[in-house]
Amino acid sequence: MSAADWAAVALSLRVAVAATALALIPGVALGWALARQRLRAAWLWEYAAMLPLVLPPVVTGYALLLVLPRSVAFTWGAGVLASAIVGFPLLVQTARVAFEGINPELEDAARADGARGSQVFGRVTLPLALPGVAAGAALHFARALGEFGATVVVAGNIPMQTQTLPLALFARLNSVGGERPALMLAGVSLVLSAACLGAYMVLVRRLRRT
């Protein structure tokens, strides 16, 4: 693998970490609000959150391209935003399931002992839901790691700048003599994806035991 290939792998990891961090707080907050029915027109919020899951990623990228400032488009930051949005539904739904699985009597007991709403959430609700939240973050990270369609539209495929692992793999497959580098990039992608899936399964099992 060339220096450009390794740079693409490093950028993919960087984008995936940043995208997951960007989506984590709003994703957890929305998952909790949907689980506890704390939103008016909750179906509309859920509809909007789930839309990126069914919308073609190219359309998501084009929509971002229309609204982002020129200074942000075709930068790695645009790829972060695209990856955060595309993986957002996975984080929201996994967090929602985790919050729905918590026995409300535990939260009621904390309130009866004088805990305020923020204390109940921070000391009871979130710790109990943490394995599910972490599982959602692992899914989001994996989705961001493999993001292609939205990224190529809004960030481009610029080697050493915005070219992530999937984009590098696509470029190698479309270049003469690129079969071997493409195979190696595919292997790296497989290892990273398998690690993310393994982490997700471990966390889900832990959530079920909890």
Give the residue extent of every domain in the chain.
Answer: 3-209
Q: Which class does domain 3-209 fall in?
A: mainly alpha
At residue 210, the pLDDT reads 64
At residue 147, the pLDDT reads 95
pLDDT tens across the length of the chain (210 residues): 788 899 999 999 999 999 999 999 999 999 999 998 878 888 899 999 999 999 999 999 999 999 999 899 999 999 999 999 999 999 999 999 999 988 888 887 888 777 777 788 888 888 989 988 999 999 999 999 999 999 999 999 999 999 999 999 999 998 888 899 999 999 999 999 999 999 988 888 877 776
Task: State residue 174 phi and psi, 5-degree precision.
Answer: -105, 15
H-helix or E-strand spanning residue 6: helix 3-35
∠27-129-32 over CA atoms, to 5°? 40
DSSP 66-133: HHS-TTTTTSHHHHHHHHHHHHHHHHHHHHHHHHHTS-HHHHHHHHHTT--HHHHIIIIIHHHHHHHH
At residue 15, the pLDDT reads 97
Number of H helices, E strands in the chain: 10, 0
Q: For the whole model, what pTM was predicted?
A: 0.91
